[in-house]
Amino acid sequence: MKASYVSTAAINFGLRNSTASMQRTLPDLQLETVTGRNADSGLALGSKTGELASLRHDISVIKRLTDTNDLVSVRMRTSQSSMGQLTAVGDNLIEAISLVLGNNSQKGAVAITAKSGIAEMTASLNATVGGVFVFGGENSDAVPINDYEGSPAQTAFRGQFATAFGFPIDSPLAANISKADMETFLVSAEADFLSTQWAGGMSNASSDVPDVRVSDGVTVKTSISANEESVQKLMFSTILASEMYNSQLGDSALDAVGKYVVENVTEANGGITKMRGTIGLSQERVERASAALEVKKSLLETFVIDLDGVDPYETAIQVNSLLTQIEVSYSVTARIQNLSLMQYLR
């Protein structure tokens, strides 16, 4: 029978290698305990790694669409709110004019209401979400509406008035303008404003509104363009009231202006209300699309967990067991290091 000899050094080195191996395993187990999935999916799944990558890609796409839908929803709420403010401007103007028709002694109040309305409309149409102008159409990085005061549009309107009547809008001679002449001027002034002055001095917006993809095969328009005819008519009517009710027009001509503005604003507000309804339908579509995406994402995440998930309780037990083994290994290693002839002879 042959005797075998094992030195303390050999035992010590063996324990060190075993401890090092456990220390390398421990971080992966701790990571799995925290994340609930394999630390190395490729090693754990092998040929099924491609399936896992595909599922995660699909989840990533859904998350991007969901984020887009959240932003789209904010834009549509902003659009709805702004259009509500536009119709409120129109309602206030109709109310102010109705109070002075036939008795223009308080016409200054209409001028103030109209001037304030121009500022409110400009602010509403220049609303932004995330640095993007909601009513800019495809020109979403440009301010849709310029200030009217001092603009080329104001210069053009006043120039048209002077050309039509032979004197500026603030001249006392305006008191002699007849109702018929004023009605003729209003028709031509509106046509010129909508065709030339709007694009040439008031608006920087694009008439084209881009579609936004909110789900597979589903696109919606998140707002309207500031160039919509109803918006232009409302702005023109408000400008008309601001200019004319601040002039020296006689009662008959001013009443003609008032009736013209009320009819135009009523028509414009009706158009804007219809557009709000269209945006409202888009909001419902986005909500349904987002709900469907959430269901799909939840289902895919379940597949990922089934494929790549680990039992956190079992992993926690393995971590505790491994920690215990490492502590024992350290303890044994320390005792072996103290085993020597010199230690024995002391």
Question: In the prediction, which pLDDT does 133 show?
Answer: 95
CB 256 within 8 A of CB 182: yes
Instruction: Please check whether residue 227 is in contact with residue 203, taking contact to mean a CB–CB distance below 8 angstroms.
Output: yes
| pLDDT reported for residue 29 | 47
pLDDT of 103 reads 83
**Predicted TM-score (pTM) of this structure:** 0.76
Full pLDDT tens readout for the chain, 346 residues? 455 545 555 444 554 555 555 555 545 545 555 555 554 455 555 656 677 678 778 888 889 888 888 989 999 999 999 999 999 999 999 999 999 888 878 899 999 999 999 999 999 999 999 889 999 999 989 999 999 998 899 999 999 999 999 999 999 999 999 999 999 999 999 999 998 889 878 999 999 998 888 887 788 888 899 999 999 999 999 999 999 999 999 999 999 999 999 999 999 999 999 999 999 999 999 998 889 888 988 888 777 666 655 556 566 666 566 566 656 555 555 555 555 545 544 5
Under 8 Å CB-to-CB from 258, ≥6 apart: which residues? 97, 100, 101, 110, 241
Residue 20 pLDDT: 53
pLDDT value, residue 33: 55
Domain 55-146+203-299: CATH superfamily is f41 fragment of flagellin, N-terminal domain (1.20.1330.10)
